Amino acid sequence: MVLLSPSIGALRRLLRNCESYADTHGLKYNASKSEFMVFRAGSKSYQSVPPVTLNGTPLNRVKEVKYLGHWVTEDLCDNRDIERERRALAVRCNMLARRFARCSGDVKVALFKAYCQSLYTCSLWVNYTQRTLNALRVQYNDAYRRLFGLPRHCSASAMFAASGTDGFHAIMRRRCASLLARLCGSPNAIVDALVGWWYSPIVTIQPMVCNVSSYVNIYLDI
C-alpha cells in the first residue's frame, strides 16, 4: 500500500492510523520492507527530514521506488522508468529473434505486436529527456529489424508501413489517448478533477489537444 501526504506530520498521523488498524485486526506491518520518499517541488525540498517510524522502527528514506512495475523518483523524472522499459524491450526482442527466426512474416508481425508494443506505463511519462526517449525509440526500431533480419539503417517508417505495424510514436499516441479517454469516463470525483485541471500533467502530455472532449471524440472515432 502507498500513503501520500503533504507533510511529515500528516504522514505520521496516517501511519498511526495504519498501526491502529493493524493492531485491531491482528495484523503487523513489515517495517524492514517499508520505506518513504520525499518528493521535490521544483528546486524546493526538505533540508532535514524528521524520522518517520512504523511500529517504532525508523523507515529508510529512498530516492526512487518501484511501484506496480513503474519507477517513481523523488524529482518525478521518468528517465529511470523509460530506461527500465528499454532494457525489458531489448530482452524481449532478443528472445523473439532467437526462438522464432524461421517463422513466417505474418507470425513475426503478430509476435512483435504482442511482445514489443506494450511499452508498459508509457502513457504516464511526462518528465523526461529527449535523449532517453530516443534511446527507447531506437531500441523499438532495432527490435523489428533484428526480428526480420533487415539492415540496420533501413527506413523505419517504410518497414512499419509495409507490414501495417504501428511505429514508436504511433504507439505512444495510442497509449496516451487511451489513458485520457478512460480518465475522462471515470466516475471517480478525484480523477475527474485532475482531468479537468488544464495544468495537469495528464492533459499537458498531449501536445495536440485544444480541449479534452474533442480529443476523446477523435480517439473514439478512430
Query: Long-range contact list for 45-52, CB < 8 A, 24+ apart?
Result: 45/74, 46/8, 49/8, 50/8, 52/8, 52/11, 52/12, 52/15
Please give the Cα distance from 35 to 68 (Å, whole number).
15
Q: What angle do CA 134, 138, 142 make, to 5 degrees?
A: 170
According to the model, what pLDDT value does residue 203 have?
62
Q: Is the pTM of this model over 0.95?
A: no
According to the model, what pLDDT value does residue 202 have?
59
| pLDDT tens, residue by residue, 140-191 | 999 999 999 999 889 999 999 999 999 999 999 888 888 888 888 889 888 8
According to the model, what pLDDT value does residue 108 have?
95
Write out the H or E segment, with its range, that includes residue 217: helix 212-221
Q: Which residues of the chain carry a pLDDT beneath 70? A: 44-46, 198-222
E-strand ranges in the chain read 35-36, 53-54, 57-58, 60-61, 64-67, 70-73
